[in-house]
Amino acid sequence: MNPYGKSQTRKKTRKAAPIAALALLLTIPLYLSFTGDSSSSHQTFPSRAELHQCDLFSGEWVPNPDGPYYTNETCNAIQEHQNCMRFGRPDTGYLKWRWKPDACELPLFQPDRFLKLVRGKSLAFVGDSVARNHMQSLLCLLSKVAHPIEWSDPLGKQIQYHYKEHDFNISIFWTPFLVKTGILDPSLGRPFDLYLDEFDDTWSNQIAQFHYVIISAGHWFFRPSYFHLQRRLHGCLYCPEPDSNITHLTPAFAHRWAFRTAFRAINGAAGYKGVTFVRTFAPSHFEGGAWDKGGNCLRTKPFTRNETSLDEKALEFYTIQLEELGIARTQNRGRRFVLFDTTKPMVLRPDGHPSIYGHLPGAKLVMSNDCVHWCLPGPIDAWSDFLQELLRREVVGN
């Protein structure tokens, strides 16, 4: 599956991982970190608090007849391509589930409680359109009790929402590759230029002002790109040059470099004393073909853990994020990095995407069946349940 680039068939070198087995991967950032691309390794151990906290991200989706908690009529923060209610999605069962961790309860999002946790604080989302999807879900959940003042920079790379009565700000930084890039305009018809070892200063120079940062990225790394290291062309993905002229590399190569560089920017950010939540890759659910070969996502209920598996590319991205998180945790103990694992819960939600219900029938779109983003309201609202509990742990401990 290649959500954005040209279709490509690759020889499989790794079997898909059953969801139950993914719990083992969570030990990577806590106990064992890999340095560089070699086989050398070093150990880093979790705090006592981490050892005794319930794992929020291992569990199942269970029925929740009370959902949803907002609609497209009560929230104006829903973008068209996630507005499944407006565009006629006929089933509503996908709105009637909540996440239940195996070893504890995850409280549902309570906007008043959340705003008390974040009073006097600031929160930044750093990433791509799925990060924006998450932020808009949070805005909708908060809209039951509060409405912010919106501001954006002239280029639209940063948007801020100010909740004056609660002394709380939410910002989003548009940075789909996390690192310095060339012009991000797909209509130009050429690969993007990614400077994989250079910071994207549109966000890295500003994070010192934030108490909490949620960083994420994934699906854009499947787009055609040129990769630069030390200001020299190092290789490419889906580029037009023949193999003899340039090294053809994988999306995982750029994905690892991007997270390593982003974490280096955070560790080195002067004055930053906040908490960085590393939100892991939320997989897409194309079935019956790739995104550009008729693939779609028409299921109407979640999987159980034993019914599905994480495909090779998603597993590779997920593993890279865990490994790089482990490395980041060892490089500067003055910075706090927290795992925000959306991979394991969301691989079980093939029913939560817009599919054909993110646009009018017959609309001409690059991706006519959207199995990457999430309906609002929808299963992505559970991410705010996770965030509320993660923030509670930061404020009051376990």
Residues recognised as catalytic: 129, 370, 373
CA atoms within 13 A on the CB side of 191: 22
Instruction: Give the integer Cα–Cα distance in Å for 319 and 164.
Output: 40
Whether 212 contacts 224, CB under 8 Å: no
Whether 97 contacts 373, CB under 8 Å: no
Instruction: Give the integer Cα–Cα distance in Å for 123 and 214.
Output: 8
Of 23, 29, 19, 24, which Cα lies nearest the Cα of 276?
29
Q: Which two structure tokens, joined as six digits, stand for 86?
A: 């407006």
The runs of H, that is alpha helices, within 230-358 are 251-267, 312-331, 343-346
- Label residue 294 left, alpha or beta by phi (over 0 means left) and psi (-120 to 50 means alpha): left
Helix (H, G, I), strand (E, B) or coil at 152: strand
> H-helix or E-strand containing 28?
helix 27-31
Please report, for residues 122, 167, 264, 296, 368, the alpha-carbon distance to residue 384 in angstroms, rounded to integers and kept in the order given.
15, 19, 27, 27, 28
Instruction: Give the integer Cα–Cα distance in Å for 187 and 196.
Output: 22
